[in-house]
Amino acid sequence: MKRRTYRTSQVAAAVGVHPNTVRLYERYGLLPEIPRTVSGYRQYTEAHIDQMRLARMAFEGLWPGRAIRQSAVALAKQSAAGDLGGALEMAYRHLAIVQAERAQAESAVKLLERWARGTAADATSRPISIGKVADLLGVSRDMLRNWERNSLIQVPREPGNGYRVYGAAEIGRLRVIRMLSRAGYSTMSILRMLLCLDYGESADLRHVLDTPTTEELEDAGGDVYSAADRWITTLDGWEQRTHAMIELLESMIVRERSL
């Protein structure tokens, strides 16, 4: 049976994008080869429409880090190249990447919650210098100074020479900051949470980490400007999206087998 064909405008309408977006995805190698009529008009099929849907899932929304971005783009291109089975395998690997990021974010929050309830996060017995703290935590001195400049921490100074001195309380706080930062949370979200904690508001800190304030949204022009400012929500959304990509790829494979 002959496949039904579609014009560029029909593909765009089916997916909910501008026709120029369809052409752009073709240029980027995100669509299978598109046959043309003798007069040069593109002839899209259901396969192209499904591939557009898959590519949109891979590209829409905020990017939650390089690993997830590269993985999403790679599986979309694998599908566009005609290897639907390979793309399905990659989608399951992509899901594992997203879930690993989510687990790391959750572990960081658990450390935060225990520390906020009073569980010590460091056992340093005597105050130490910034250089020793950098070595202890495996970060640069500039990173420590940057966290201080961004008001994530206040570090005591020696009265005589003004050198920074870090005790167990400061190092414990830095351990929490470092773990949250490495887990993907933005500096703004960490600061938002620490300000609440410093003001004695320790309830539901994970929600505070994941919820920009009205002022932050206004500064961003009414929208969240970074995936890391709503890190848990972003990762949850990507996990749901990846499941949808897997279902779509499975239906694409079934359709191709039936032709």
Q: What is the CATH code for 1-60?
A: 1.10.1660.10
Tell which residue, 60, 96, 61, 54, has the closest CA to residue 75: 54
Residues (pLDDT < 70) of the chain are 1-2, 214-225
Contact between residue 62 and residue 224 where contact means Cβ atoms under 8 Å apart:
yes
CA distance 114 to 122: 13
The per-residue pLDDT for 227 is: 83
CA distance 183 to 108: 7
DSSP for 134-195, please give it.
HHHHT--HHHHHHHHHTTS----B-TTT--B-B-HHHHHHHHHHHHHHHTT--HHHHHHHHH
How wide is the angle at C-alpha 234 spanned by C-alphas 232 and 238, nearest 5°?
A: 115
CA distance 15 to 50: 9
Tens digit of pLDDT for each residue in 73-89?
999 999 999 999 999 99
CA distance 180 to 190: 7
* This model's pTM is above 0.85: yes
The values of phi and psi at residue 42, to 5°, are -70, 145
Residue 128, beta-bridge partner list: 166
Same fold, 1-60 and 105-231: yes
CA distance 77 to 94: 14
Tens digit of pLDDT for each residue in 236-259?
999 999 999 999 999 999 998 887
The per-residue pLDDT for 13 is: 97
Listed by start position, the domains of the chain span 1-60, 105-231
Is residue 33 helix, strand or coil?
coil
Q: What is the CATH code for 105-231?
A: 1.10.1660.10
